[in-house]
Amino acid sequence: MMCLDLSFTTSQNSSKLRDMNNVLPQVGTTSVNIGTHPYARCYCVNLFAAKMVRQGEDQIASTTQAAFPVAALAVGMWTEFNEIGHHLLAHFYSVCPILVPMYVNRTKDMSEAEYMK
């Protein structure tokens, strides 16, 4: 099984995306066959999304310049494999709940402080 290092700079971004796009379609054709279990592909996609979010979080925490390459990789993978996007979003929401779009209606009897809570 091929293992990819997700630490990269902007100049390496397109090559990493190409490597990921070459590896993911091969899943199930190498020593691990995801076709033998009905939930295996979903598990692999979810695991990839979780690791991608965790790796992005670690990279950005240590080097803020890594934010755009990590985001570009996430968007690139979402574009190529739609199912990854839904899992990425779920993991982003679990790590950073403020990303969840939410609008609270303000009632007439609500004070400004209560509304901003």
- pLDDT tens-digit profile of 6-35? 555 556 667 777 777 777 776 655 565 677
Whether pLDDT at 108 is above 70: yes
Boundaries of domain holding 79: 10-99
**Structural domain total, the chain:** 1
Could you tell me if 48 and 107 are in contact, meaning their C-beta atoms sit under 8 angstroms apart? Answer: no
What pLDDT, on a 0 to 100 scale, did the predictor assign at position 28?
Answer: 58
Q: State pTM to two decimals.
A: 0.60
Query: Tokens for 93?
Result: 């929401």
**How far does CA 95 lie from the centroid of its chain?**
11
106 lies in some domain: no
pLDDT category of residue 4 using cuts at 50, 70 and 90: very low
Band of residue 88 on the pLDDT scale cut at 50, 70, 90: very high
Does the residue 110 lie in any domain?
no
Give a yes or no: residue 111 inside a domain. no
Short-list 13, 116, 110, CA closest to 56: 13
Please give the Cα distance from 88 to 95 (Å, whole number): 11
Q: Which residue has the tokens 């490597």?
A: 19
For residue range 36-77, list pLDDT tens digits in order. 778 888 988 999 999 999 988 888 888 888 888 888 888 998
Question: Does the residue 68 lie in any domain?
Answer: yes
Could you count the other beta carbons within 10 Å of the beta carbon of residue 66? 20
**Residue 50 falls inside a structural domain:** yes
